[in-house]
């Protein structure tokens, strides 16, 4: 690859011929085989594809939880390979929110404290924190559940806490790896609708992965992966033009 493609500063995130392989004994598993894609601020985009197609791998690279084997990952025009671990950690804490399939809340903390911790880690000023945390929990419908611990909440309620935790620091990007996989279809639909409202109200970019057709149909753009490659991307289609 001699000619590096130009950086498009309009893009929130850009992957350029990204490959990722994992060592497995003597073998290398090629999880991504050269993926190029651009994500614009404000998108509500699903990565779809069968198990093992590379959805989590791509989200982990975009979220700076991992680094590519080759190719470039650019966030807000910055090549993440040029950032040290401290800078990457800072970027993750301030600019990216994560929502996981298994909610990943801290079990000994209340809903309020789980959200508050994320705000602290993002370096938000002490002043006004209580209102910001309360407002985040209110916005996901949990005004009456702030003092409950995760074990005292339903799966759908735990995922709402996770959404509040991701949103509270007002990140540019929220990454959600199969956010509805542990929820029944009614709660899954409600979580997706909530994410979509947050996307519309705050212009927060959402990238999520799913196997679920019901979740997929709520996406504005669907990028399909198979065997470590993008096989379709409806970004050019009418559905991508916005609501
Ligand atoms: N840490 C790892 N070590 C070795 N191989 C890995 C590792 N993580 C992922 N892989 C392999 O990389 C490929 C892509 O995995 P990935 O987790 O991205 O798939 P996925 O699309 O998220 O699948 P699922 O729908 O099951 O979550 C798979 O073949 C997987 O076995
Ligand atoms: Mg996965």
Distance 48 CA to ligand 2 centre (A): 10
Helix, strand, coil tally for the chain in percent (to 5): 40, 30, 35
In this structure, which ligand is nearest to the CA of 28? 1
Shortest-distance Cα residue to atom 27 of ligand 1: 51
Distance 193 CA to ligand 1 centre (A): 28
Tell me if 115 sits within 8 A of 165, measured CB to CB.
yes
Distance 227 CA to ligand 1 centre (A): 10
Residue 158, SS3? Answer: helix
Write down the pLDDT at residue 9.
56
For ligand 1, say whether the CB of 236 is within 6 Å of any of its atoms. Answer: no
Shortest-distance Cα residue to atom 7 of ligand 1: 22
Distance 150 CA to ligand 2 centre (A): 23
Shortest-distance Cα residue to atom 16 of ligand 1: 54
Q: Sketch the domain layout of the chain as residue ranges.
A: 43-54+84-241
In this structure, which ligand is nearest to the CA of 225? 1
Q: How far is the C-alpha of 142 from the C-alpha of 102, rounded, in Å?
A: 19
Distance 130 CA to ligand 2 centre (A): 34
Structure tokens at 50: 């069968």
Write down the pLDDT at residue 242.
45
Is the domain 43-54+84-241 a CATH 3.40.50.300 member? yes
**Residues 144-159 as b or e (16 or more Cβ within 10 Å = b):** ebbebebeebebbbbb
155-167 vs 129-139: helix crossing angle, rounded to 10: 140
For residue 174, give the nearest of 188, 159, 189, 185 by alpha carbon.
159
The residue to which tokens 């509805």 are assigned: 180
Counting ligand 1 atoms within 8 A of each CB, the residue from 20, 21, 22, 63 with the most, and so the one to mutate, is: 22
Query: Measured between alpha carbons, how far apart are the two ends of the chain, in Å?
Result: 38
Mean pLDDT per 10-residue segment, the chain (243 residues) = 55 96 94 97 96 96 94 94 90 91 95 96 92 94 97 95 93 94 88 92 94 90 97 69 44
In this structure, which ligand is nearest to the CA of 35? 1
Distance 2 CA to ligand 2 centre (A): 32
| Range list of H helices, 33-151 | 55-62, 85-95, 111-121, 129-139
């Amino acid at each position: 690859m001699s000619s590096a493609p130009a950086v498009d500063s309009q893009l929130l995130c850009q992957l350029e011929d990204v490959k990722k392989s994992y060592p497995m004994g003597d073998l290398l598993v090629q999880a991504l085989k050269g993926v190029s894609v651009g994500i614009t601020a404000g998108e509500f985009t699903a990565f779809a594809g069968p198990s093992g197609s590379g959805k989590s791998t791509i989200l982990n690279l975009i979220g700076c939880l991992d680094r590519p084997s080759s190719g470039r990952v650019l966030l807000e025009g910055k090549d993440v390979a040029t950032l040290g671990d401290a800078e990457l950690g800072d970027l993750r804490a301030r600019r990216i929110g994560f929502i996981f399939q298994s909610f990943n809340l801290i079990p000994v903390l209340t809903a309020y404290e789980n959200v508050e911790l994320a705000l602290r880690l993002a370096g938000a000023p002490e002043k006004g924190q209580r209102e910001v945390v309360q407002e985040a929990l209110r916005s996901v419908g949990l005004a009456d559940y702030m003092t409950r611990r995760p074990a005292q909440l339903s799966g759908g309620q735990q995922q709402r806490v996770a959404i509040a935790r991701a949103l509270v620091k007002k990140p540019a990007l929220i990454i959600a790896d199969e956010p509805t996989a542990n929820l029944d279809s009614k709660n899954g639909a409600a979580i997706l609708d909530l994410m979509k409202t947050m996307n519309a109200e705050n212009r927060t970019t959402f990238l999520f992965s799913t196997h679920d057709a019901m979740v997929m149909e709520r996406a504005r753009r669907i990028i399909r992966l198979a065997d470590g490659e993008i096989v379709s991307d409806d970004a050019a289609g009418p559905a991508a033009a916005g609501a």
